[in-house]
Amino acid sequence: MFGISEFFKKVQNSFTKEVVLRTTIKEMIKKHVGIDVPIENIAPKNGIVTLKNISQSARTAIFIKKEKILEELKGERVVDLR
């Protein structure tokens, strides 16, 4: 029984880390571009963040400010926005 509780703690910790990362990315986009991207539309994987289900005009505005956003997210190990 002790092993199961430890397993669920690890799952919860990894989920919490991902939510914090997504929230940080959302805040940086809001700060630099002024667009509110829902957390469920942000998918980080191996340092590459994919933005899903956003309009083309919002996507263009984000990519214009891409370098500034990535500069602030270096501590989070984010290397690219797509």
Q: Is the dihedral of CA 53, 57, 63, 65 positive or negative?
A: negative
Nearest one of 43, 50, 48 to 22, comparing CA atoms = 43
Q: Is the dihedral of CA 63, 68, 71, 76 positive or negative?
A: negative
- Give the whole-angstrom CA distance, residue 34 versus residue 19: 20
Region class of 77: left (phi > 0), else alpha (psi between -120 and 50), else beta: left
Percent share of the chain, pLDDT over 70: 98
Return the pLDDT at 39.
92
pTM for the whole structure: 0.82
Q: What is the pLDDT of residues 23-63, one digit of tens each?
A: 999 999 999 999 999 999 999 888 899 999 999 999 999 99
Tokens 């690219």 correspond to 80
